[in-house]
Amino acid sequence: MDMLMFQLKKDTLQPLYQQLYREIKKAIIDGHISVDTKLPSKRKLADFLDISQTTVELAYGQLVAEGFIESRPRKGFYALPVEELAYLDIPTEETDVHEQFVYDYDFNPGKIDTESFPFSTWRKLAKEVMDEENHHYLLSGHPQGDETLRQEISRYLFQSRGVVCEADQIIIGSGTEQLMPLLIRLLDKALTYGFENPGYALTHSIFDHHDRKAVPIEVDSEGINISQLEASAVDIAYVTPSHQFPTGSVLSATRRAQLLNWAAAHSQRYIIEDDYDSEFRYTSRPIPALQSMDLSGRVIYISTFSKSLMPSLRIAYMVLPKQLLRAYRQTFLHYSSSVPRMDQQLVSRFMKEGHFSRHLNRMRKLYKRKLEKLVMSLSEYSPTVTVSGEQAGMHIVLTVHTTFSEQELTERAKQAGIRVFGLQSYDVHEKRVIPPQIVIGFGGLSEQEIQKGIGQLMDSWEIPSKKADRLQ
């Protein structure tokens, strides 16, 4: 029994049988349990470890299935030989305690308002698509996506973003993380990418996973630093000009012109414009896309329905300059669209019949009210906290004048059941900024939850409200 003196943790989210399975497997691989050693019976091991026999049975069953032990009739369980380094100890999903933490108030900038989605309209259109029994919808369809959806996206982009493109230039894909690798493969592997810092972490990992050289370019209140970009060896610049993530800054008119001139100066230079939440602007008319100013065909436009409809829809799109479109068709001639055609037809009808524009109008008003509630709630704590990036999108940046560090602020919030994100968690340099800045998303919370959540957040940070000061 001594060889199985494992310390199983009953106060974690990982099931006991998985802990036991992992410990026995490790002991066999490391040689602490020798080949042909008989393991204790399920009853004896359960009594010894003070766990149920079912837990032991599940662990033994998994070990038998993976070939670490075998069950010999009327004799028991015995350890089998394994090849050295033949097995990887891969953590299971249940071990990620961070993901399982339940928050009372989640200020995640990726959340949307799910209560206001037009389910009845969506359900009606879905029924129509299914009832028509168009048998060709069961086939793969056009590799760039159904033409009907690409036509609707083309019209929408021109009317709302000023993007000038034909439906043939649009590629439909299941998310930015699926389209970006396709795009990277079109471009010379020797090219260097520049990404905004702080910026969207997924982009950094995509460049890294595909063995592409990428360097961070700093961002300030006017967007990406063009001087730093020009001084670098960057060939492809990835930017979020309409509402930089996560700082919320908007690329100024001067820098837009400078960025386009930078791209036009060399035949291999391109700009990847990620227009991820441009539908939601609250202080003025939406700023036209960078692509609408491009006269040289150097801007690759990417956007998604994640914020405007729902993240689970998994439909994104990119607009390729015509010179890249030819290369795309040659490279991905035999590829199929990664988005189910039924979903494409559903979104196409949702847009064609005007439901999409009406939905966006409703959501703009709703998110604007939430933003106003958020800013009003935070105004009670100024000037200790100041707000920036509130012109557009579904998150703001909070600058906190405090002695606490960014990490201490996010940890204190977590202990109070509140989820927030430190701005420097998006920074590859991980430098400490004083005063600390916190990213606050408001899309997934009601106005009442926003007000209550901010009050509890400020309490966790020990920041008194003006109201409390007046009462003293």
CB of 353 closer than 8 Å to CB of 154:
no
Residue among 305, 240, 244, 225 at smallest CA distance from 273: 240
CB of 83 closer than 8 Å to CB of 3:
no
Look at residue 66 in the predicted model and tell me its pLDDT.
Answer: 77
Look at residue 371 in the predicted model and tell me its pLDDT.
Answer: 95
Taking the C-alpha atoms of residue 219 and residue 232, their distance in angstroms, rounded to an integer, is 14
- Quote the percentage of the chain above a pLDDT of 90: 59
Q: Mean pLDDT across the stretch 190-219?
A: 89
Residue among 87, 96, 101, 90 at smallest CA distance from 28: 87
Residue among 378, 368, 395, 388 at smallest CA distance from 461: 378
Instruction: State the pLDDT confidence band at 88, using cuts at 50, 70 and 90.
Output: very low
Instruction: State the pLDDT confidence band at 452, using cuts at 50, 70 and 90.
Output: very high
Q: Does residue 96 carry a pLDDT above 80? A: no
pLDDT tens digit string along 21-78?
888 988 888 888 888 899 999 888 888 888 888 888 888 888 887 788 898 888 899 9
CATH number of the 10-97 domain: 1.10.10.10
Measured CA distances, 449 to 107, 280, 329, 362, 457 (Å): 10, 21, 49, 20, 12
Look at residue 31 in the predicted model and tell me its pLDDT.
Answer: 83
Q: Mean pLDDT across the stretch 274-284?
A: 82
Taking the C-alpha atoms of residue 295 and residue 232, their distance in angstroms, rounded to an integer, is 24
Q: Does residue 136 carry a pLDDT above 50? A: yes
Look at residue 1 in the predicted model and tell me its pLDDT.
Answer: 60
Instruction: State the pLDDT confidence band at 415, using cuts at 50, 70 and 90.
Output: very high
CB of 60 closer than 8 Å to CB of 42:
yes
**CATH superfamily label, 105-115+360-471:** Aspartate Aminotransferase, domain 1 (3.90.1150.10)
Q: Mean pLDDT across the stretch 288-306?
A: 93
Q: How many CB atoms lie within 10 A of CB 398?
A: 25
Look at residue 83 in the predicted model and tell me its pLDDT.
Answer: 57
The domain locations on the chain are 10-97, 105-115+360-471, 119-357
Q: Does residue 111 carry a pLDDT above 70? A: yes
Look at residue 344 in the predicted model and tell me its pLDDT.
Answer: 95
**Six token digits for residue 430:** 């991980």
More confident residue, 205 or 36: 36
Q: Which of 8-22, 200-214, 219-233, 363-377 has the lowest mean pLDDT?
A: 8-22
Look at residue 29 in the predicted model and tell me its pLDDT.
Answer: 84
Mean pLDDT of the chain: 88
Contacts of 420 (CB under 8 A, 6+ apart): 107, 409, 410, 413, 438, 439, 440, 457
CATH architecture of 119-357: 3-Layer(aba) Sandwich (3.40)
More confident residue, 1 or 304: 304
pLDDT tens digit string along 212-247?
999 999 999 899 999 999 999 999 999 999 989 999
Taking the C-alpha atoms of residue 16 and residue 55, their distance in angstroms, rounded to an integer, is 7
pLDDT tens digit string along 324-346?
999 999 888 788 888 999 999 99
